[in-house]
């Protein structure tokens, strides 16, 4: 494939062909970012769940690699994580990449596979490493090294129990259950909990832990979405601070199952599945189905006296970015993917839209009374007929901005629009299927706009 089909993302990862969902096993090792993902090697719908694989030196340009893990007698290979075992705690060799994933058969159990070259994986002969014959939902292990207690910690999702369990291990093979985090806040229990990640971050000069939990359904708008909790983790138990939950990582329709890379120092880099379980099986792309979001760097920032998990696109985007140009007419002068930086007035209601020559457009409203940016994903945006729940007339996100203007960084690709405030305080990721990429900007609210091209990553 020349990666040039209609709707084919030019700056987002997609496999050449077939179905993709959650990002899995992201780990940095020997100068490469590894991205594994839920993949069907045999078709363009969910099934035969395996770990597809891609690698990158810069998080932006990806090289698809052979499928890393395929189903076996224990079942499908569901989501999970990977670590670089520098101290050889597991005995597979210093620096071995050790993957922990869910074997989904009659029950969901946790299994291990390791690799000494980052490409070929050997399944551990004594799988599963965490057996299960009673829990209906028990999956998506995310593992990290806890230096104070000198052991590995695993977060595991309990689906419809709305809980995340924590387990520990000295060697990645023998695991002990430590605790369970749940919430009485009914607002957070809107769908099954999946794909957790626990991050040791910094806030106000102090250590703070952030627990990311994907929920399906029950997202901020409809279908699936990603929430987070802020609190403390003492090596055994996570306790959430009293904040106004649910808190959303992304207010758009299409960022799910995101987790962060392991073995990256001092940065929290997340990539999400840019789709929504509400209609993922029907999105009109072929021979591939689904892309990843742009990779984002997470930070805990203060907003209104409280912590807020902010996302900005990783600085490596510079490697494909052209020169900034001021936008002086409706025509943006781009022929592929691009980044638009727009200053909008938030003291009065307004509207701006991105459109193409076919008259298709996506409209964004600035609503002062509600303090929200509202994206209108209607039939005007392009194709919507493949699923009755794809059109969403108002996808709302708070400005999360003080002052008179909001600076937006909008990344537009052939089938997505990702809107960030410049400091990441608000993010909205949405799929769209216009006949051709939006290349015009109109509206009455902009104060200033500049644009730069992003060169395609597949050349
Ligand atoms: C989330 C999820 C995971 C599971 C995987 C299966 O999208 O449901 O919980 O491991 O997808 O493909």
Evaluate whether ipTM surpasses 0.95.
yes
* Residues annotated as part of the active site: 22
Q: Which of 257, 273, 276, 290 to mutate to test the pocket of ligand 1 (most atoms within 8 A of CB)?
A: 257
How confident is the model over 55-97, as pLDDT tens digits?
999 999 999 999 999 999 999 999 999 999 999 999 999 999 9
Q: What CA–CA distance (Å, rounded) separates 158 from 162?
A: 6
Cα 79 to ligand 1 centroid, rounded to whole Å: 6
Ligand 1 atom closest to 49 (CA)? 12
In terms of DSSP bridges, do strands 238-240 and 361-367 run parallel, antiparallel, or are they unpaired? unpaired
Q: Is 433 exposed, middle or buried (0-12, 13-18, 19+ CB in 10 A)?
A: buried
- Quote the ligand 1 centre to 38 CA distance (angstroms): 8
Q: Give the ranges where 90-234 is alpha helix by DSSP (H).
A: none
Q: Which residues' Cβ are closer than 6 Å to ligand 1?
A: 21-22, 38, 49, 78-79, 102, 139-140, 194-195, 257
Q: Which atom of ligand 1 sits closest to the CA of residue 102?
A: 10
- Return d(Cα 20, Cα 433) in angstroms, integer: 18
Substitution candidate for ligand 1 out of 20, 50, 76, 78 with most atoms within 8 A of CB: 78
Residue whose CB lies within 8 A of the most ligand 1 atoms, among 108, 138, 194, for a mutation test: 194
- Is it true that the peptide bond before 439 is cis, omega within 30 degrees of 0? no
CA-proximal residue: ligand 1, atom 6 (nearest): 78
What residues contact 415, with CB distance under 8 A and at least 6 apart? 7, 8, 9, 285, 291, 431, 432, 433, 434
Query: What is the whole-number distance in angstroms between the Cα of residue 393 and the centre of ligand 1?
Result: 28
Cα 436 to middle of ligand 1, angstroms: 31
Closest ligand 1 atom to 80 CA: 10
Q: Among the atoms of ligand 1, which is closest to the Cα of residue 157? A: 9
Radius of gyration of the chain (CA): 21
Query: Residue 214 Cα, ligand 1 centroid: separation in angstroms?
Result: 10
> What residue ranges in 120-233 does DSSP mark as E strands?
122-123, 139-146, 151-157, 163-169, 176-182, 192-203, 206-216, 225-233
Structure tokens at 2: 């020349």
**Ligand 1: which of 195, 214, 215 to mutate, most ligand atoms within 8 Å of CB?**
195
- How much distance in Å is there from the Cα of 334 to the middle of ligand 1? 36
Report d(CA 273, CA 224) in Å as an integer. 11
Nearest CA to ligand 1 atom 9: 194
Q: Are 257 and 273 in contact (CB under 8 A)?
A: yes
pLDDT at res. 447: 80
Are the C-beta atoms of 229 and 211 separated by less than 8 Å?
yes
DSSP state of 295: P
Q: Indicate which atom in ligand 1 lies nearest the CA of residue 224.
A: 7
The residues, ordered by sequence, that sit 6+ positions from 295 with a Cβ below 8 Å of its Cβ are: 59, 60, 269, 270, 271, 313, 314, 316
Q: Backbone dihedral region of 78: left (phi > 0), alpha (psi from -120 to 50 degrees) or beta?
A: beta
Residue 110 token pair: 């946790």
Q: What is the pLDDT of residue 459?
A: 73
Question: From ligand 1's centre to the CA of 173, what distance in Å?
Answer: 22
**Cis bond before residue 246 (omega within 30° of 0):** yes
Nearest C-alpha neighbor of 219 from the set 273, 276, 297, 272: 276
Ligand 1 atom closest to the Cα of residue 256 is 7
Please give the distance, rounded to the nearest whole angstrom, from the Cα atom of residue 189 to the centre of ligand 1.
17
In this predicted structure, what is the pLDDT of residue 429?
98
Give CA–CA dist 430/384, Å, rounded.
13
Q: E-strand spans in 47-95?
A: 50-56, 63-69, 76-85
Per-residue pLDDT of the chain in tens (459 residues, 90 and over written 9): 589 999 999 999 999 999 999 999 999 999 999 999 999 999 999 999 999 999 999 999 999 999 999 999 999 999 999 999 999 999 999 999 999 999 999 999 999 999 999 999 999 999 999 999 999 999 999 999 999 999 999 999 999 999 999 999 999 999 999 999 999 899 999 999 999 999 999 999 999 999 999 999 999 999 999 999 999 999 999 999 999 999 999 999 999 999 999 999 999 999 999 999 999 999 999 999 999 999 999 999 999 999 999 999 999 999 999 999 999 899 999 999 999 999 999 999 999 999 999 999 999 999 999 999 999 999 999 999 999 999 999 999 999 999 999 999 999 999 999 999 999 999 999 999 999 999 999 998 778 999 999 999 997
Q: Distance (Å, rounded) from C-alpha 329 to C-alpha 293?
A: 29
> Which residue lies with its CA nearest to atom 8 of ligand 1?
194
Could you tell me the two tokens for 323? Answer: 């020169």
Give the nearest ligand 1 atom to 159 CA.
Answer: 9
CA of 347 to the centre of ligand 1 (A): 42
């Amino acid at each position: 494939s020349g990666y040039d089909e209609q709707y084919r993302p030019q700056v987002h990862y997609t496999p050449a062909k077939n179905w993709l969902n959650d990002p899995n096993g992201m780990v940095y090792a020997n100068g490469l970012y590894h991205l594994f993902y839920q993949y069907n090697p045999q078709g363009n719908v969910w099934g035969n769940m395996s770990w597809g694989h891609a690698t990158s030196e810069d998080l932006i340009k990806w090289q698809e690699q052979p499928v890393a893990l395929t189903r076996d007698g224990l079942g499908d290979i569901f989501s999970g994580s990977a670590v670089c075992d520098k101290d050889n705690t597991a005995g597979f060799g210093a620096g071995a990449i050790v993957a922990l994933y869910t074997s989904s058969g009659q029950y969901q159990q946790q299994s291990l596979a390791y690799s000494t070259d980052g490409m070929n994986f050997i399944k551990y002969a004594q799988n599963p490493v965490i057996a299960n014959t009673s829990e209906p939902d028990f999956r998506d292990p995310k593992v990290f090294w806890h230096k104070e207690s000198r052991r590995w910690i695993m977060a595991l999702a309990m689906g419809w129990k709305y809980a995340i369990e924590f387990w520990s291990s000295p060697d990645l093979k023998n695991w002990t259950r430590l605790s369970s985090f749940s919430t009485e806040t009914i607002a957070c229990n809107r769908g099954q909990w999946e794909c957790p990640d626990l991050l040791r971050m910094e806030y106000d000069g102090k250590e703070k832990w952030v627990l990311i939990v994907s929920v399906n359904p029950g997202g901020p708008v409809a279908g699936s979405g990603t929430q987070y909790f802020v609190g403390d983790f003492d090596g055994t138990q996570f306790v959430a601070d009293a904040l106004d939950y649910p808190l959303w990582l992304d207010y758009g329709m299409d960022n799910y199952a995101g987790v962060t890379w392991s073995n990256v120092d001092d940065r929290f880099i997340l990539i999400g599945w840019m789709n929504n379980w509400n209609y993922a099986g029907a999105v009109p792309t072929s021979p591939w189905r689904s892309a990843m979001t742009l990779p984002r760097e997470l930070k805990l920032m203060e907003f209104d006296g409280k912590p807020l998990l902010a996302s900005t696109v990783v600085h490596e985007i510079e490697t494909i970015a052209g020169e900034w140009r001021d936008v002086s007419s409706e025509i943006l002068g781009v022929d592929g993917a691009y980044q638009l930086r727009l200053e909008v007035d938030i003291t009065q209601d307004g509207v701006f839209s991105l459109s193409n020559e076919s008259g298709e457009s996506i409209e964004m409203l600035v609503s002062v009374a509600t303090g929200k940016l509202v994206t209108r994903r209607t039939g005007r945006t392009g194709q919507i007929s493949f699923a009755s729940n794809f059109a969403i007339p108002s996808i709302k996100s708070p400005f999360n901005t003080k002052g008179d203007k909001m600076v937006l960084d909008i990344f537009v690709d052939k089938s997505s629009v990702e809107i960030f405030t410049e400091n990441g305080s608000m993010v909205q990721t949405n799929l769209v299927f216009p006949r051709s990429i939006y290349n015009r900007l109109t509206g009455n609210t902009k104060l200033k706009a500049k644009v730069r091209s992003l060169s395609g990553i597949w050349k």
